Structure 1
Amino acid sequence: MSHNYSEHHQNYEISQENRLHVFYIRFDLLDIGLGQDKVRFYEEIFNDIPCFAFGPQGLKEEMKEPQNIVPTLREAARKIYSIPAIKEACEYYCGEMEIEDKYFKRGEFGELILYHFLCEYFQAEALISKIYFKDSVGGTAHGFDAVHVDTVNKVLWLGESKLYRSPRNAINALVEDVKSHFTTDFLNSEFQIITNRIYKDQGHNECDEFIRELLSPNTRLLDRLAKIKVALFAGFESAVFETYVEGDESSIFHTNLTEEASILYSSVMDKISKHTWSDNLDIYVFLFPYSDKKELMSSLHNRLRGLQQI
């Protein structure tokens, strides 16, 4: 795993607590001139698909024999496309049909990109497969878009992701997720689902003591939240890349990027402050601006479709 084709910026002037993180696809010299190296970034993201689809423990089971490598890659892609919403969206992004507005509002690959950033930049591995949380009928997620664990720092990451055209709409949708997901009933239900799955995959005795204690119904909610970080991942279209200048940290690009990030971060934190648990939620804002959502989604869908055919 690597993060050679993405840039990661932390602006301490905006958030001294290091809660704002901005990611974007790296620039390099291409055949067409200076531009974002999207092809290699997409390839890097797709290297994560097997573990994303099966989960760490499940992937180990699948890869016990060398001859299982190609079938496992193929099955990982099929697992993702078994979700009706993703399969249906592919027909729009990869076909001749006109793109409907509802597909611009979906973030089918937001979970995969969030998975990548949490693993690569925060050393937080997925606790279980995200596919486990998908409804077999409607493809609607039962729970958080990311459930990752940093065993070194003893932190559980819970993530929500949105890939939209509008940054404002992405932020508003994330805030709504926080409102609906951070309640006693929802968290207790999610922790039970997670507990059932990891004990099935790993067994009670194999599970880290830190995780067992955090998920235990006997642990106070206050103590649980004290060990949880919440990643709110917003992908959105932005015009900032039009002003990129290589090697100039004081360029208009960096100024515009900082200003855009500051406005969105302030918006998120202001809205979250109205939540009754705001003082107990450790919120981290991940921003991922891109130039064209349609191009991003079409490229990822085409690659995933191709992976099924290897």
Structure 2
Amino acid sequence: MIKPLVKKKFLDHFYHEVKDHVLEDDRSRLNLHIIRILNNQFAIKPLMQELLNHMISFCLSKKEYKNLIEEERFGELAELAQERFRDYESNEGEFGELLLYCFLESHLEAPKLLTKMNLKTSHNDYVKGADGVHLLKLSEKNYQIVFGESKMYKTFKEGLRKAFSSINSFINHKKNNIHFEINLVNTHFDQEIEDEQTYEEIKKIIFPSAQEDEINTDNAFGIFVGFNLELDSQIKRLSNSDFQNTVRGMVKDVVKKEYKYIESQIDKYELYGYTFYIYCIPFLDIEKVRKEAIKKLKGEG
């Protein structure tokens, strides 16, 4: 089997404020991660250093990565990855997509089968469909193909609303839907596999045979929602320990208030047969963070 490339160490950058909260369907899970707080600010810079490393495996296939390493073309690794990010002025979502990729690999331990970035031939390409496709092993004979959906909005609720709306469209769209995406994976996932035996094993998981009745593979969704956190001047003036406790409590309350809303979205679109893995992170001045992050990832900041 293929293994995740993002290690558990990635999670050291976050307080894990809500751990695998089980939603009403008894399958789906929500996790709230808060970026480590330093001097009354979220410690974005150390997180960005970590993301600069992981953007390579996010943007490049394993075969691309391996070939460059074997040929000792180390300088091209980052350059090729940087080129696949859109310019920050028109880049609404790739920072969130990278974060979702890292959470699905490190926390969920679901290795990548495909990301949109793998399919780009230039940074201006816009690839429709899921933000990424991952494979989750539940047991020896039970698997899930996890499709990624990332949103960054001013409020947590708005991000959730947009995410579930996009998922519903993705499931029901006549062309760019789940079946199209799985066929896309089938066409490209050999770029993530290094040997023929593993390739055949993964193919049986992606396309299980009802005749053999040995493997069960369902579809699931990984959702990332980045949202803005507004702080008044009184909170900003708190001591470091009080600031951390206050902010962590505030964010937890914001997220807990939307548990029922998440369940209502599942009801609204009748998404009862799917499992959802939801990851959320607050930011201070989310629009500024997004733009500066893309600049950094492109080597321009």
Q: In which range does the TM-score fall when normalised by the shorter chain?
A: 0.7 to 0.9
3-state DSSP of counterpart to 2:32: strand
User: Cα deviations across residues 188-244 of structure 1 (Å, max 9, x unaligned)?
Assistant: 211111001113653893445553233228559xx9985433111111101369478
> So what's the TM-score if we normalise by structure 2?
0.78
For the residue of structure 2 that corresponds to 1:139, the secondary structure is coil
> Is residue 124 from structure 1 mapped to residue 110 from structure 2 by the alignment?
yes
CA RMSD of aligned residues (A): 3.5
SS at match of 2:114: coil
- Equivalent residue for 2:4? none
Match of 2:264 in 1: 270
3-state SS of 1:306 partner: coil
How many angstroms does 1:290 deviate by? 0.7
Q: Find the aligned partners of 1:114 and 1:5 in 2 and give their Cα distance.
A: 14
- Residue 193 of structure 1 pairs with residue 179 of structure 2: no
Structure-2 change in CA distance of 1:118 and 1:248 (3 Å): farther
Q: Is this contact kept in 1: 2:14–2:34, CA < 8 A?
A: yes
Amino acid at match of 1:118: L
* Structure 1 unaligned regions, length at least 5: 81-85, 93-102
Change (3 A) 1:305 1:15: same
Matches within 5 A, 1:31-70: 33-66=39-72, 68-70=73-75
Cα gap change, 1:121 to 1:134, in 2 (>3 Å): same
DSSP 3-state at the match of 2:189: helix
- Given the two structures, how large is their TM-score scaled by the length of structure 1? 0.76
Q: Unmatched 5+ residue regions in structure 2?
A: 1-6
Which residue in the other structure is 1:146 paired with? 132
CA distance in 2, matches of 1:160, 1:19: 15
1:70 Cα deviation after fit:
1.2
- Say which structure is richer in helix: 1
User: Which residue, 280, 296, 299 being the options, matches 1:303?
Assistant: 296
Q: Could you tell me the percent identity over the aligned residues?
A: 19
The answer for the alignment partner of 1:76 in structure 2 is: 81
**Equivalent residue of 1:123, what SS?**
coil
2:40 touches 2:243 (CA, 8 Å); kept in 1? no
Out of 264, 280, 283, the position equivalent to 2:273 is 280
- Report how many aligned residue pairs link the two structures: 281
Q: Distance in 2 between matches of 1:239 and 1:163?
A: 15
In structure 1, what residue type is equivalent to 2:32? V
Shift of 1:173: 1.2
Q: 1:162: which partner in 2?
A: 151
Distance 1:202 1:215 in 2: 14
Q: Which amino acid aligns with 1:9?
A: E
1:115 aligns with 2:101: yes
Counterpart secondary structure, 1:197 = helix
What is the Cα deviation at residue 281 of structure 1?
0.6
Q: CA deviation at 1:15?
A: 4.1
- Render the CA deviation track for 1:57-108: whole Å, top value 9, x for unaligned: 3211221133x1112211111122xxxxx22xx2x4xxxxxxxxxx69x223
Question: Which letter does structure 2 place at the counterpart of 1:291?
Answer: L
Give 2:149's aligned amino acid.
E
2:299 is paired with a residue whose SS is helix
